[in-house]
């Protein structure tokens, strides 16, 4: 087998297919036809003289050779993207850059302090992308982000990734000041069913926690609900309506402290989860990550001291 036969397009199609477990979805994501993607995968298997994918029912799975090759292929693509991005950053500004993915709770609660500390320490460019956990982890795996700051993902999503714990937080049931539930002395969780509810989307990292909590509270799935992880929408909708917002406490910590929002007296201890840094396990540490880590740990230490 001649390694020079393997091109970047082979790696891109294979890694995308391995991540999505679907040739069709991989082809769509890469802007290819499914026959073209299938042909590229066959070329790669021929070059390696090993099957990388196998049929499993109506889907596909990685063979042992495919699992082994995927780790190296993903790392190679990620390194290539980092190199291209680094050259472009230097060409555009003469400065290095760090690309961060952050869940909304992190963006709202600690990233302003982290960003200020990082810029003061390095003067480097800092790109912050906010989104759902699954989207951010996919971008991390593809080398489009250097690190993701957020909740620890489910075990099946941590393949090829490493996690460093920083702090823990819970989900809260939040309403605006003056909401009927906030003024009720004998609050009962069942009363929530009478109001619209903003819930995290099915793909969000806290959705399983919320679903289990609703079951534990004997609450039916809210019929009048909006599914969103947009913190700006949640804040605006809560101020203007009698909705109940089920959200990570970090997103609304400032509003609760200021008295604009009220956390309902619902026991949410079982939703407590770890928040930290997620990186690719096989990547070299980005040069600016240590400086970012120092700023992040300083901000989380201040957060823990205030709790």
DSSP labels, 48-83: HTS--EEEETTEEEE-HHHHHHHHHHHHHHHHHHHH
Beta bridge partners of 245: 174, 198
Q: What angle do CA 219, 225, 230 make, to 5 degrees?
A: 120
143 within 8 A of 77, measured Cβ to Cβ = yes
Report the predicted TM-score, pTM, of the whole model to 2 decimal places: 0.64
pLDDT for the residue 2: 57
How would you class 21 by CB atoms within 10 Å of its CB: exposed for 0-12, middle for 13-18, buried for 19 or more?
A: middle
pLDDT for the residue 175: 96
Alpha helices by DSSP H, listed for 94-166, are: 104-109, 111-122, 133-141
Higher per-residue pLDDT: 106 or 93:
106
Calculate mean pLDDT across residues 56-66: 86
Q: What angle do CA 284, 148, 124 make, to 5 degrees?
A: 70
Question: What is the percent of the chain with per-residue pLDDT over 70, rounded to a whole number?
Answer: 90
Residue in the structure block whose two tokens are 């109506």: 58
């Amino acid at each position: 087998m001649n390694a020079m036969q393997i091109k970047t397009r082979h790696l891109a199609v294979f890694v995308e297919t391995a991540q999505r477990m679907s040739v069709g979805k991989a082809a769509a994501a890469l802007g290819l036809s499914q026959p073209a993607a299938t042909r590229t995968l066959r070329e790669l298997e021929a070059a390696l003289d090993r099957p990388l994918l196998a049929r499993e029912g109506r889907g596909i799975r990685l063979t042992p050779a495919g699992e082994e090759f995927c780790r190296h292929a993903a790392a190679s693509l990620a390194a290539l993207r980092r190199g291209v991005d680094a050259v472009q950053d230097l060409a555009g500004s003469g400065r290095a850059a760090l690309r961060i993915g952050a869940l909304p709770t992190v963006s709202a609660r600690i990233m302003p302090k982290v960003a200020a500390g990082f810029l003061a320490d390095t003067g480097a460019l800092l790109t912050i992308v906010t989104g759902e956990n699954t989207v951010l982890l996919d971008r991390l795996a593809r080398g489009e982000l250097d690190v993701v700051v957020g909740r620890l993902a489910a075990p099946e999503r941590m393949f090829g990734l490493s996690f460093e714990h920083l702090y823990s937080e819970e989900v809260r049931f939040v309403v605006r000041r003056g909401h009927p539930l906030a003024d009720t002395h004998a609050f009962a969780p069942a009363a929530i069913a009478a109001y619209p509810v903003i819930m995290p989307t099915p793909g969000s990292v806290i959705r399983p926690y919320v679903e289990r909590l609703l079951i534990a509270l004997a609450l039916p799935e809210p019929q009048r609900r909006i599914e969103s992880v947009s913190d700006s929408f949640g804040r605006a909708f809560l101020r203007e309506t009698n909705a109940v917002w089920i959200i990570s406490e970090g997103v609304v910590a400032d509003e609760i402290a200021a008295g604009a929002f009220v956390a309902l007296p619902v026991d949410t201890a079982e939703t407590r989860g770890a928040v930290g840094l997620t990186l690719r396990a096989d990547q070299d540490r980005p040069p600016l990550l240590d400086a970012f880590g120092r700023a992040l740990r300083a901000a989380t230490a201040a957060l823990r001291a205030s709790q």
